[in-house]
Chains A and B, each alone.
Chain A
Amino acid sequence: MAALLELDNIRKSYGTGTAVETEVSHGIHLTLQPGEFAALIGPSGSGKSTLLNIIGLLERASAGSLKLSGVEMTQASEDELTRARLTTLGFVFQFHNLLPAFTALENVQMPGLVLESDFTAPRRKEALTLLEAVGLKGAEAKKPGQLSGGMQQRVAIARALALSPKLVLADEPTGNLDTKTADDIFVLLRRFNVERGTAFLVVTHDPDLAARCDRVIRLVDGKIAADAKHEAGEPLA
């Protein structure tokens, strides 16, 4: 099977051409297979967010190659990147995840609205199913402001899965939550991974969470320092 994501010698510099040019990613090689559940860990400033933004097609790499489902994306136009984000990727962020003016249900339908310019009946049905799956049956009509942090994050997960992406990128999805809620959210991500075969790349600070992933990629100083597959539940090496 073709790899879902292939990074080859990805480099990222900021302030290119100025006196303060800084390279934050130094030649990253990484391959993700469909259905993988991987954690991306590393100390602050190690370049996790930058790498996630590059994989999420929100930032362009300064050099190297990025293939998504076998398609080279480094030379893609802005519109092609936008389209790929919509149809192939899902995002869950730590903060500011939802649109406060829309209800939980509408937030989950939002990718469908972007794609089809309408809230269609099939998308609505799917959104209801997803909300039920994340345990929010009954909260469909609530606005984000009326939901707890954990509930908002569940809505965000349901939204990330709305158009059945191949890969969901989660940036500290539990970083803002208490332990119990964080655990619930993690279980939910894992369940979608198993049930739908969606690949996940989860950035986290939490070693316990990382230990429960199939693969742990450790980033130090903009390089991959360790990349290990292991059985979920084993302690990290």
Chain B
Amino acid sequence: MMKLGFEWKLALRFLGEGRFQSTLIIAGVTLGVAVIVYITSMLAGLQGNMIRNLLDTQAHIVVRPPDEIVRPQLPSADTARAIQPRAQRVLSIDNWQTYLRYIERVPSIIITSPLASGSALAVRGEATRGITLFGVELERYARIVALRDKLQEGEFRLGAGEALIGVELAKDFALRMGDRFNITTEAVSEPFLVSGILDLGNRQANRTNVYINLHAGQNLLKLPGGITSLELRVGDIYKAETIAQELQAGTGLKVESWMTTNGQLLSTLRGQDVTTIFIRAFVALIVVLGIASVLIVSVVQKQKEIGILRAMGASRGQMTRVFLMQGAIVGVIGFILGSVLAYLLIEAFITFVKGTDGNPIFPIIFLPETALSTCLLAIAAGVIAAIAPARRAAKLDPAQAIRG
């Protein structure tokens, strides 16, 4: 391995000698690194938080029966015709247990939960409200949608004739634990007992979502033994779309991932990612230009010393590396200080910027991979910035440098 003792000692002394200049460029790198780490961490926190909030309330993948389509009797395409698509009924997935077994064998799927869902009317005395019924196996379903954390009052269970309702519905109907109300569909009307009240974090959901057990749901929705969808949770949320496409191909059912149903959100996040990349690139560029200009000045100032060293027998390669190493050292020191500064900024954000509930608006995540990539970026910036000065130093004619 190449020994770099000469380059290392010279680089350190040269940096130490021009203390003011070195301080300036290290400060530049520090600020650059801090900005990059802070923005990246903040965005990771923000995006992570948005996705987590979203996926707390919905399954990663939903499997539904295929859409009903109209099959015209006329065989020829020559005949002028207009086909009116038909309205979609609440349908069960035929033979869903078979599909369930098939899906459960897919290794990337962590948990599956059958759901019988449809609309209904909640009635209490004179009051009625349109609701969405969720007939679920509670234990399974709670592993897909984080319902358990949302329980505000009562108990987290769905026995026969029990329902979990949202806070808004509870308020509208003046329902408390153990109170009764009716759920009516076109088929039947049944009384339910409030076993628990949930705060789902969304007013609409709090008003309309009513959870009952799967069996009761099937009865109310006229789907004996049937389900309207299978809700799935996967290991890697960003692979959900691929897995969904594979499942659709494998089952012939309609399979949608959260990435399809939340396309807009994903585009927004992608837009943010691209913006951050631009910001990082420009900050890195500014840092590179800053380091380069200071090192160029340093080469000019040290031209006599470089001349002496070259006359003494230091090679061009050695002189090049002395300056490249100065860039790298500046990068490393700047990275360390910048990371500390970013950490303090993040702490300050968490401590001082709070939402209405007194908690931080969102968590900021200081990712190790951000730290690593920024470290490499800082070193690369330092070395790239040092290329031009280093070449200049190496090209100096020693005879002229000493005479000059």
A contacts, CB < 8 Å to B: 49, 53, 56, 58-59, 78-79, 82-83, 85-87, 89, 91, 93, 96-102, 110-111, 113-119, 159
Contact = CB atoms under 8 A, between A and B. Distances in A.
Nearest to A82: B315
A58 B305 contact: no
A110 B313 CA distance: 10
Contacts, number: 78
A56 B311 contact: yes
Nearest to A86: B313
B312 A86 contact: yes
Interface centre among A83, A97, A99, A119 (most CB of B within 10 A): A99
A91 B310 CA distance: 11
B402 A114 contact: no
Given A102-B13, A114-B309, 9 more contacts: A82-B313, A96-B307, A96-B402, A99-B305, A100-B17, A110-B312, A117-B4, A117-B7, A159-B312
A59 B399 contact: yes
Nearest to B314: A114
B366 interface: no
Contacts of A101: 13-14, 16-17
B6 A100 contact: no
Contacts of B309: 99, 110, 114
A100 B305 CA distance: 8
B3 interface: yes
B49 interface: no
Interface of B: 3-7, 9, 13-14, 16-17, 304-305, 307-316, 318, 397-399, 402-403
B6 A117 contact: yes
A110 B13 CA distance: 13
Contacts of A58: 311, 397-399
B6 A91 contact: no
A91 B312 contact: yes
A53 B318 contact: no
A87 B318 CA distance: 16
B313 A113 contact: no
A5 to B, nearest CB: 17
Nearest to B313: A86
Contacts of B310: 82
The 7 closest A-B pairs by CB, nearest first: A86-B313, A117-B3, A117-B5, A101-B13, A58-B399, A101-B17, A118-B5
Contact of B313 (A53, A85, A102): A85
22 contacts: A78-B316, A82-B313, A82-B316, A83-B313, A85-B312, A86-B312, A86-B313, A86-B314, A96-B304, A96-B305, A99-B308, A100-B305, A101-B16, A113-B6, A114-B312, A114-B313, A115-B313, A116-B5, A118-B3, A118-B5, A118-B6, A119-B9
